[in-house]
Amino acid sequence: MLDGAINKIINRIEFWIILFFLIRMIGITNPPIEIGHSWRQVTGLMVTRNFIEVDANILYPRIDDNQDGTGIIGMEFPILNLLYFLIAKIFGYTHWYGRLINLLISSIGLFYFYKIVNKYFGHRHAFFSTLCLIGSIWFAFSRKMMPDTFCISLMFIGVFYGTEYLEQGKTKNILLYIFFVSLAILSKIPAGIYLSVFFQLLIYVKNLKRKWIFCITSFIPLTLTYIWYFIWNPYLSVKYGIWYNSGKSITTGFNEVISNLGFVFEKFYFSSFNSYFFFTLFIIGLLLMVIKKKSTLIYLFIIVSTVFILYIFKSGFFFYHHSYYIIPFVPLMALVAGYTISLIKTKWIFISVLSIGLLESIANQQNDFFNKKSEKYKLTLETIADSISSKHDLIAINGNGNPQQIYLTHRKGWTCDDGQISDSTFIYNLYHKGCKFLFVNKHTFNEPLKKRIVFDNDDFKVYDLNSNVGEINLDDKR
């Protein structure tokens, strides 16, 4: 009887979602100093902290790397940041709440992914596909303060209720569809690729009224997304002067992708699952679904893949430069890999196959759960800043493109390159723009500057930019 109860539990996808939720709680309170994508996380953390400390207007998200401006920036609609802000208003600001919120929503998203696949392909296929998705890049990125798995999860919820409406015609389902799809695409446009599944589903809906209502109401999230990304964000960029990533032209992106196909393919064969084994199952699944003429799966794969290819060309350099750009496509890859496993009838074989894939994937991502000792010195930055300056003093720091350190100082100002801080003209201009202190990370730059040192240890040196201003030689490029 006990064995039967245990088997019943482990055969439920909820058990595995909860289990991996708990596994990913390991190191959830870690500060954002991991090597991978800390810059992307601290950008979101800045926005949330500024909602609390400066202005909670969601239409004007702002970062700390403000260059003596407002810091207002065009970005994804900050829904994740808003949820974080609401929690922080109750419990106080703590950096890891963002990780936890994303992990919670992403885990719910896994359940809705299962529900959708189960509805159209059956429990066995859905079960194995969800386990493949759990062990994919989703494993690490669902616990980062980033909206990538967050937005896809919201989309799965929206897609599920969209299918429910098409089947049942209930008003609550179309309202839930509109709500979650709007949040999903506003959180990040690539989530919208899964709207393409309805091209296939609508063919089988015979009720014309439902079809028309569904199609018309689908313009609501699309219109909101257009307004935010293509009207409001460019306006913020022009008015407040902070660069906004609107992607590349299709032609430019196409040329960049074609010129770097090796890096592009790497995002598919490794970054997607962090497992060559799971990727092999995906390739086998592609072959099997053609051989076995699984038309529904084939059409679904073609439709979503076509839209995703356009996304790749629109992203260009960004796609092959950042591993998380593959995230929107991974659920489809998991669906195909899960199909392969679902065809294995011998219990010990499919258990072995899943175990090998999951162990390889987790082993390749486990380092993301722990902070390296070599990075922990950065956590002293706020203490150093508090010892020499007020919260309102503008500073500069040589983050070399990563705003992580200016976030950790809990100050606003400039993130500089090593080459810039050795340029006396640049330093002169910083001073006249109101910058009071220059923080220098000695791990990347350790040449003396013509300024008074107000702090110095093994890791950082801080210069007072108010000192010796009159002695600056604009031709001195030390």
- Chunked mean pLDDT (size 10), the chain, 478 residues: 69 94 94 86 94 94 90 94 94 92 97 97 96 96 94 98 96 98 97 95 90 96 96 92 78 93 95 95 97 95 96 92 94 98 91 92 90 93 95 93 94 93 90 94 90 93 78 39
Q: How many domains does the chain have?
A: 2
In a shared domain, residues 264 and 186: yes
Tokens of 143: 């616990």
Point out which residues pair with 460 in neighbouring strands. Answer: 441
Domain endpoint, select from 329, 349, 369: 369
pLDDT score of 468: 62
* Residues 355 and 380 grouped into a single domain: no
- H helices present in 204-260, as ranges: 208-217, 219-227, 233-240, 250-258
Residues 463 and 384 in one domain: yes
> Are 77 and 121 a contacting pair, CB within 8 Å?
no
Residue 400 burial (10 A CB sphere; 0-12, 13-18, 19+): middle
End residue of a domain, out of 369, 396, 418: 369
Q: What is the pLDDT of residue 424?
A: 87
Does the residue 76 lie in any domain?
A: yes
Flag whether 236 is in a domain. yes
Helices first, then strands: H and E counts in the chain: 24, 5
The three-point CA angle 380-382-386 to 5° equals 120
CA distance 367 to 36: 10
In-domain check, residue 476: no
Full-model pTM? 0.93
Task: Identify each DSSP E strand in 314-423 by its residue range.
Answer: 394-397, 412-415
478 within a domain of the structure (yes/no): no
User: What six digits make up the tokens of 246?
Assistant: 């609107």
Please name which of 164, 181, 172, 187 lies closest in space to residue 219, comparing C-alpha atoms: 181
d(CA 103, CA 352): 27
Predicted local distance difference test score (pLDDT) of residue 11: 85
Domain of residue 277, residue span? 2-369
Same domain flag for 281 and 396: no
Going by the DSSP 8-state scheme, the letter that residue 367 receives in this structure is G
pLDDT of residue 48: 95
Give percent helix, percent strand, percent coil of the chain, each to the nearest 5. 65, 5, 30
Helices 347-365 & 276-291, crossing angle to 10 degrees? Answer: 130
In sequence order, what are the beta bridge partners of 439?
397, 462
**3-class state of residue 440 by DSSP:** strand
Amino acid at 200: Q
Domain shared by 443 and 342, yes or no: no
Residues 128 and 227 reside in one and the same domain: yes
Q: Are residues 323 and 364 in the same domain?
A: yes
23/138 same-domain check: yes
pLDDT given at position 477: 36
HEC string for 274-323: CCHHHHHHHHHHHHHHHHCCCHHHHHHHHHHHHHHHHHHHHHCHHHHHCH
In DSSP terms, 413 is beta-bridged to 395
